[in-house]
Structure 1
Amino acid sequence: MSINKENGSRYHTRQRPSPRLPPMLPRYLVQAGFLVFYGWLIVQFALWTASLQTTGPPPSPRPVAIDGFLPYNGLVGLQYWLASGEWYPVHGAAAFIVLAALLSALLLKRGFCSWVCPVFPLSEGLWRLGEKLMGRTFAPPFWLDLFLRTFKYLLLGFILQRVFFMSFPQLQAYVDSSRHQLADIRLLHFFQSPSTTTLLVIVLLATACFCIQMAWCRYLCPYGALLGLLSLFSLVGVCRDPRRCIRCGLCSAKCPAWLPVMHKLRVRSPECFACYRCVHNCPAPGAVTLRAARRLVIPSLLFGILLLSLFAAMDLYGRFEGRWHDERAPQEIRRQMVELKQE
């Protein structure tokens, strides 16, 4: 409030809002950093794999973080640990990374999906491109959308049944087999020499993500389904303050999971990605926030720091325990590759 010097009357002046960090910026920076890291990781692993075709030692050690692309083997490693009390020495990092992702779902919703997973920014970029070029994206009818969402849970159930219902002799036979021990190399060869069917499936999935926002994450990703179920127990969630809300509907309209944020006091859904898109697009400061136990506001910068700290701590713990690195010698891996070709 100010006072007019000529007549002494009082009048209100509009204060300029203090500059603040855009809520989406930390997520974009973390996503970009991980995408660069994944690109470097894949190149290094491809060079390391190619060096195994020679007789000399590899010029550089195997990049252990490549195990992050093996969530199924990570679950198998966790099951082996639960069944035997010991950490299997091959693809141990995969188990640590999966464990970190599971903990992140309990602590930070599906932050792993929207901040760390390499598929999320690709899917997000495709539907935003489709929206820009076509002027809109397409949403299936509610009954069809609900039916399609069951597929990722069916896939998850199939995977969990295979992993956690094996007898220990079956589990031991699997982890000792080349199917598990060469899973990273087999995955690389799968994408280096894709079949016509594989290319067709990739094109169909990309087209689906282009037309329907987050189609892969919404309908088919079993990893996201598992994290979503665990996130239901998280104390962190998107909250709406009805006293500050102007009911413009932008939070619901901008949600990539099509959640009715405007009609909720707290979003309790396994579909919430904790992507901060609703927070970013809310024009009323403080109306939509991500909070812990409905009290502590978690800015996106702090969220990113917490998420990265969790994975860094799991990395350091695995290294400290001596269970992060693969214990196989290059000669052993070459022998397994020869046996795999003969199968």
Structure 2
Amino acid sequence: MFTRLKKHVSFRHVVQSLFAIIVMYIGITFVIFINQVAGNSLTKLSRPAGVEGFLPISALVGLKAWIATGNFDPIHPAGLVILLTAIIVSLFLKRSFCSWICPIGTLSEGLAKIGKVVFGRNYTITKGLDYFLRSLKYLILVFFVTIIFFGMSGADAAAFVQTPYNMVSDIQMLRFFQHLSVFGITVIGLLVLLSLLYENFWCRYLCPYGGLLGLVSLLSPFKVTRNQTTCIQCGRCTKSCPSQILVEQAERVWSPECTGCLNCVQQCPVKNTLTFTVSKRQRRSLSPRSIAIGLLVMWTLFIAIAKWTGHWETSMTMEMYRALFTR
């Protein structure tokens, strides 16, 4: 029974499930906290700092302000810590944040699996259109980076961090989803449908966060490596790749689209033909278990350091939240 369970549950799925549970806890706790702010609840729960992981634009502005002024964002410090941790992880373990941790990535993956059941398959987009669509997330990334890092001075970024708009951006995000307009429902519904039909549609074509981490991951020493001598060209690696990378044709997978999910490595029928290594000559490969442990240790360590140094919890008080909430 244990062997049968092991075949269906991978280390990656365990890590994904763990972070999905954490995100759900953060969401529920944040809703309760906002009810406290509004005076509709007598419970006393602290604001979960992890909610700032859903404020990537604020984190980018905070990063700009920190680089320019040396002052770490006091309003949404956890958002900046999460962004920096995701970048550091990508420097070492490719875009593993996307395939192992990101709740949107987990949701997108789940929708693709449902799509396979409902429609019998996931569809693919023609090569030319695929290249064009993939460029969209980089264009969105360039747009935000240009505006924030080149269009704003350090003083402007630091001032934005302290604006009432930024202070309650987490509340605005919650209100957006609680009171979706017809347009919002239509856009989200369309994205869900496309994710059912096309595997990882949002992550592959539209997520600027993934685009940033993909570019950073080019510097990662670890890459999927193929032993050309023992490869039998069965094509199972390419077929299993959610990013549609032609793994069977590559000696080393350099593509920024590689998320380090290791689907290809696990699907390869010939032992040690596909490995996640530092170089072609190195025999020792990182296993899924090693990556799972590494990711959990890194995230726990960086959050612990942030808490210890006072760079995790917001400086905003309940009184400040209530004053801004009424406005």
Please, what TM-score do these two structures have when normalized by structure 2? 0.94
Q: Which amino acid aligns with 2:323?
A: R
Aligned with 2:121: secondary structure? coil
Measured against aligned partners, the alpha-carbon deviations of 1:245-271 in whole angstroms (never above 9, x if no partner) come to 221000001111110101111101000
What is the number of equivalent residue pairs in this alignment?
322
Q: What does residue 51 of structure 1 align with?
A: 36
Q: What does residue 154 of structure 1 align with?
A: 139
Report the CA distance between 1:113 and its aligned residue.
Answer: 0.2
2:57 aligned with 1:72: yes
Mark the runs of 5 or more structure 2 residues left unpaired by the alignment.
none
Q: What does residue 289 of structure 2 align with?
A: 301
2:184 aligned with 1:204: no
Q: Which amino acid aligns with 1:224?
A: G
Higher mean C-alpha displacement, 167-176 vs 246-255? 167-176
Distance of 1:104 and 1:218 partners within structure 2:
19
Report the CA distance between 1:23 and its aligned residue.
Answer: 9.9
Q: What does residue 125 of structure 2 align with?
A: 140
Contact between 1:22 and 1:280, CA under 8 Å: does it hold in 2? no
Report the CA distance between 1:170 and its aligned residue.
Answer: 2.0
- 1:226-245 correspondence runs (5 A): 226-245=212-231
2:309 aligned with 1:324: no
Distance of 1:215 and 1:137 partners within structure 2:
11
Report the CA distance between 1:195 and its aligned residue.
Answer: 0.9
Measured against aligned partners, the alpha-carbon deviations of 1:80-107 in whole angstroms (never above 9, x if no partner) come to 1101011121111110110000011111
Instruction: Decide whether aligned partners of structure 1 residues 23 and 308 sit closer, same or farther in structure 2, where only a CA change above 3 A counts.
Output: farther
Distance of 2:72 and 2:250 partners within structure 1:
43
2:72 aligned with 1:104: no
Aligned with 2:140: secondary structure? helix
Q: What does residue 213 of structure 1 align with?
A: 199
2:20 aligned with 1:32: no
Q: Which amino acid aligns with 1:327?
A: S
Measured against aligned partners, the alpha-carbon deviations of 1:198-245 in whole angstroms (never above 9, x if no partner) come to 111111001111111111111100000000011111101111112322
Distance of 2:42 and 2:159 partners within structure 1:
29
Report the CA distance between 1:133 and its aligned residue.
Answer: 2.6
2:273 pairs with one of 284, 287, 297: 287
Report the CA distance between 1:129 and its aligned residue.
Answer: 2.0
Measured against aligned partners, the alpha-carbon deviations of 1:155-181 in whole angstroms (never above 9, x if no partner) come to 101111122120133223311112211
Measured against aligned partners, the alpha-carbon deviations of 1:138-170 in whole angstroms (never above 9, x if no partner) come to 211111111111111111011111221201332
Report the CA distance between 1:292 and its aligned residue.
Answer: 2.6
Please, what TM-score do these two structures have when normalized by structure 1? 0.89
Distance of 1:265 and 1:23 partners within structure 2:
29
Distance of 1:124 and 1:182 partners within structure 2:
31
Report the CA distance between 1:57 and its aligned residue.
Answer: 8.1
Measured against aligned partners, the alpha-carbon deviations of 1:61-119 in whole angstroms (never above 9, x if no partner) come to 11111111112111211111101011121111110110000011111100000011011
Q: Which amino acid aligns with 1:103?
A: I
Q: What is the percent sequence identity of the aligned residues?
A: 35
Mark the runs of 5 or more structure 1 residues left unpaired by the alignment.
1-17
Q: What does residue 258 of structure 1 align with?
A: 244
Higher mean C-alpha displacement, 105-114 vs 135-144? 135-144
Report the CA distance between 1:55 and its aligned residue.
Answer: 8.9
Contact between 2:64 and 2:154, CA under 8 Å: does it hold in 1? no
Q: What does residue 3 of structure 1 align with?
A: none
Q: Which amino acid aligns with 2:205?
A: Y
Report the CA distance between 1:283 and its aligned residue.
Answer: 1.3
Instruction: Decide whether aligned partners of structure 1 residues 134 and 54 sit closer, same or farther in structure 2, where only a CA change above 3 A counts.
Output: closer
Contact between 1:251 and 1:278, CA under 8 Å: does it hold in 2? yes
Aligned with 2:220: secondary structure? coil
2:171 aligned with 1:185: yes
Measured against aligned partners, the alpha-carbon deviations of 1:122-143 in whole angstroms (never above 9, x if no partner) come to 1112222222332222211111
